[in-house]
């Protein structure tokens, strides 16, 4: 099914790349002059600075006698280059090793044979005559100084690439097909597993897959080369009949997708590619990488109409969405994950993904959403001095796992919650991506806390972790109100202990809050009263202050803490508005309003904290 849809994809995007051609970085161009036949020196042009990829012939090769590639091959093949080695002064000099020289000679001979046979097949073509003349007259002995044996060399005549000629394309495609479809003389027709027709079968896939992280020179999508991989001793593609067309097309389509930034994403050692049956469909997949609030809001709104999604599922959907996660194991491609869903279902899943990680910014009264890589980064260690995450400490595969969770509508990995809590306790850093991850992990792994996993405050909840978190935020607000210029807040000091065992911390802090409340009462009695009663109400929600919190409750603690803070931030923003309008503040509002001193830079302070 995977190969089938890749073949479909290749058919719908046909005409981009000729068969057995690939975008390659050509480093040297040998330009032959069409008019001056004979002994004129060819022009050697250095293309290394250009960093441009040119569509050139390619096929995978391996073994002790690798086959040459038409017109675009390494200097070792094209010019019998011996290769550079380190000289006595540390400079690179030409190798004089006899093995290297022999190797270069035999490979060049094979290349010469290949090109000559092409020239012989096209005797009337002026380019073929030029190339043949060059090959005959030219015994390569001198190379440009910087050239090495692995540099790609391509040939042009009067500035036109020879490999771009239609004669060269068809000849090369035939050549590769013949070489790759089993041994000659045997009947190698059979039922193709992909298209289901009786066709000439391949013995190995002709096009290697390029562009997966850590992939090698000759990475194959289907690769059977060890006895344990065979079926009843049948080697290579023997027990996996794939016809020449399907094999080429599927690998070419995959290469095209991997090269197209609109259709692929990288996460750690994985590459994720996606496509739709109808190439014109917009999948909104980019939102995972770069979510724009207004378009994500649309996706989230779509989730509110679940009927539409279900109706779309009920009909046989013409337009399906495919996503493929690929990894590499030495030279084999691993299909780590593979989904096919209707496009409306994809949009629904993306919508749920964003609804589940929504956080509320109380200060600006907006909802925020994060990209997958940003969420994964939030699980890394926070470097206080540099004020950023240390990106090498992101848990392995997390980004890929989160993408997988988004596409499948499934839970993120189970280790996420403990790792994240450990990080929060260790570096006392709380920001929106971390909260978004906490919400996501809680919503998707349990069904118990649905009513708490809303993005805003739930003042009725009696969940012990949540209430303790709210109390912590209130106590911090009291301290801040009483001592606006405080350097180290109680959160900085006690958060990591309070998250695990709130009883020890909260009882002490409550006693400590009394003098603060008296300080507040000196400037504004009603505010102190409101704060005190609010704190008492919160304590009343608890039967007892819990001595220990489980992982889940710890996550709720953080959520409660944040919800309370976001709630106060909103109230403070409104209080500022009211004060600007010249209104009298009520006791509640006075309690929430920021102290006069910090009101001016309140906006900035809120932003830096997050």
Q: Which residues bind other proteins (CB under 8 A)?
A: 1-4, 181-183, 186-191, 193-194, 196, 198, 201-203, 222-224, 226-242, 313-314, 316, 327, 329, 332-338, 340, 408
> Contact at 8 Å (CB) between 56 and 24?
yes
* β-bridge mates for residue 361, sequence order: 366
Of the pair 85, 198, the CB lying nearest other proteins is at 198
Residues with Cβ within 8 Å of 514's Cβ and at least 6 positions away in sequence, in order, are: none
Residues with Cβ within 8 Å of 442's Cβ and at least 6 positions away in sequence, in order, are: 417, 449, 452, 453, 552, 555, 556, 559
Q: How far is the CB of 187 from other proteins (least distance, A)?
A: 5
3-state secondary structure 31-73: EECCCCCCCCCCEEEECHHHCCCEEEECCCCCCCCCCCCCCEE
* Element of type H or E holding 74: strand 72-74
Of the pair 222, 521, the CB lying nearest other proteins is at 222
Of the pair 202, 440, the CB lying nearest other proteins is at 202
Residues with Cβ within 8 Å of 258's Cβ and at least 6 positions away in sequence, in order, are: 209, 210, 211, 212, 264, 271, 273
The rounded distance, in Å, linking the Cα atoms of 580 and 17 is 65
The rounded distance, in Å, linking the Cα atoms of 436 and 376 is 11
Closest to 367 in 3D by CA, of 429, 428, 435 = 435
Of the pair 99, 316, the CB lying nearest other proteins is at 316
Of the pair 157, 324, the CB lying nearest other proteins is at 324
What are the CB-based long-range contacts (under 8 Å, 24+) for 443-449? 443/356, 444/356, 444/405, 444/410, 444/411, 444/412, 445/411, 445/412, 445/414, 445/417, 446/552, 448/552, 449/552, 449/556
Q: How far is the CB of 502 from other proteins (least distance, A)?
A: 37
* β-bridge mates for residue 275, sequence order: 322
Which residue is it, tokens 């009211």?
578
Which residue is it, tokens 């819990």?
546
DSSP state of 201: B
Q: How far is the CB of 238 from other proteins (least distance, A)?
A: 4
- Cross-sheet strand order for the sheet of 332-342: 264-267, 270-276, 320-329, 332-342
Of the pair 26, 242, the CB lying nearest other proteins is at 242
Q: How far is the CB of 315 from other proteins (least distance, A)?
A: 8
Q: How far is the CB of 67 from other proteins (least distance, A)?
A: 17
Of the pair 110, 193, the CB lying nearest other proteins is at 193
Q: How far is the CB of 267 from other proteins (least distance, A)?
A: 15
Of the pair 234, 393, the CB lying nearest other proteins is at 234
The rounded distance, in Å, linking the Cα atoms of 233 and 514 is 82
* β-bridge mates for residue 38, sequence order: none
Q: How far is the CB of 585 from other proteins (least distance, A)?
A: 52
Q: How far is the CB of 316 from other proteins (least distance, A)?
A: 5
Of the pair 88, 227, the CB lying nearest other proteins is at 227
Of the pair 18, 309, the CB lying nearest other proteins is at 309
Give the alpha-carbon dihedral of 163, 166, 167, 170, to 10 degrees: 90
The rounded distance, in Å, linking the Cα atoms of 176 and 206 is 7
Q: How far is the CB of 342 from other proteins (least distance, A)?
A: 9
Residue-wise DSSP of 297-341? HHHHHHHT-HHHHHHHHHS--SSEEEEEEEEEETTEEEEEEEEEE
Of the pair 397, 579, the CB lying nearest other proteins is at 397
Of the pair 305, 338, the CB lying nearest other proteins is at 338
The rounded distance, in Å, linking the Cα atoms of 420 and 425 is 9
Q: How far is the CB of 604 from other proteins (least distance, A)?
A: 47
Q: How far is the CB of 341 from other proteins (least distance, A)?
A: 9
Q: How far is the CB of 178 from other proteins (least distance, A)?
A: 13
> Contact at 8 Å (CB) between 99 and 126?
no
């Amino acid at each position: 099914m995977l190969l089938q849809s890749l073949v479909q994809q290749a058919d719908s995007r046909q005409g981009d790349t000729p068969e057995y051609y690939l975008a390659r970085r050509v480093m040297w161009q040998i330009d032959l002059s069409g008019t001056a036949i004979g002994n004129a020196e060819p022009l050697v042009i250095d293309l290394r600075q250009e960093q441009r990829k040119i569509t050139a012939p390619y096929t995978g090769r391996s073994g002790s006698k690798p086959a040459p590639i038409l017109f675009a091959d390494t200097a070792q093949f094209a010019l019998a280059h011996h290769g550079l080695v380190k000289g006595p002064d540390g400079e690179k000099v030409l190798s004089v090793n006899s093995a290297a020289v022999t190797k270069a000679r035999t490979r060049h001979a094979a290349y010469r044979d290949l090109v000559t046979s092409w020239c012989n097949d096209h005797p009337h073509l002026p380019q073929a005559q030029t190339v043949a003349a060059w090959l005959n007259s030219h015994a390569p002995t001198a190379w440009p100084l910087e050239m090495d044996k692995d540099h790609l060399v391509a040939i042009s005549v009067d500035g036109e690439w020879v490999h771009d000629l239609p004669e060269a394309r068809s000849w090369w495609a035939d050549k590769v097909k013949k070489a790759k479809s089993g041994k000659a003389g045997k009947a190698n027709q059979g039922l193709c597993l992909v298209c289901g027709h009786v066709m000439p079968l391949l013995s190995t896939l002709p096009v290697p897959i390029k562009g997966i992280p850590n992939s090698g020179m000759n990475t194959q999508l289907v690769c059977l080369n060890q006895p344990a991989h065979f079926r009843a001793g049948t080697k290579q593609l023997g027990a996996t009949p794939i016809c020449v067309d399907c094999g080429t097309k599927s690998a070419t389509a995959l290469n095209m997708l991997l090269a197209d930034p609109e259709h692929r994403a990288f996460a750690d050692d994985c590459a994720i590619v996606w496509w739709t049956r109808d190439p014109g469909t917009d999948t909104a997949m980019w939102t995972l990488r770069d979510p724009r609030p207004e378009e994500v809001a649309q996706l989230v709104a779509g989730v509110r109409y679940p009927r539409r999604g279900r109706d779309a599922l009920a009909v046989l959907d013409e337009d399906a969405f495919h996503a493929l996660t690929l990894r590499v194991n030495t030279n084999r491609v691993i299909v780590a994950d593979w989904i096919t869903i209707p496009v409306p279902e994809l949009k629904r899943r993306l919508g749920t993904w964003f609804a589940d990680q929504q956080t509320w910014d109380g200060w600006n009264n907006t909802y925020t959403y994060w990209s997958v890589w940003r969420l994964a980064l939030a699980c890394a260690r926070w470097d206080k001095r540099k004020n950023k995450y240390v990106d090498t400490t992101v848990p392995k595969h997390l980004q890929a796992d989160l993408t997988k969770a988004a596409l499948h509508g499934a839970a993120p990995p189970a280790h996420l919650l403990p790792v994240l809590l450990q990080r929060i306790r260790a570096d006392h850093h709380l920001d929106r991506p971390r909260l978004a991850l906490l919400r996501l992990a809680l919503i998707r792994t349990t069904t118990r806390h649905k009513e708490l996993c809303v993005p805003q405050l739930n003042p009725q909840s009696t969940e012990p972790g949540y209430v303790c978190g709210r109390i912590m935020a209130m106590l911090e607000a009291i301290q801040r109100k009483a001592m606006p210029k405080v350097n180290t807040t109680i959160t900085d000091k006690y958060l990591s202990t309070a998250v695990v065992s709130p009883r020890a911390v909260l009882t002490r802090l409550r006693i400590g809050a009394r003098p603060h409340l008296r300080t507040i009462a000196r400037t504004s009695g009603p505010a102190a009263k409101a704060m005190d009663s609010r704190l008492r109400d919160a304590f009343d929600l608890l039967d007892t202050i819990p001595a220990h919190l489980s992982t889940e409750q710890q996550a709720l603690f953080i959520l409660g803490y944040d919800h309370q803070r976001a709630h106060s931030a909103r109230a403070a923003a409104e209080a500022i508005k009211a004060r600007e309008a010249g209104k009298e503040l009520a006791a509640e509002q006075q309690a929430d309003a920021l102290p006069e001193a910090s009101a001016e830079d309140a906006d900035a302070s809120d932003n830096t904290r997050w």
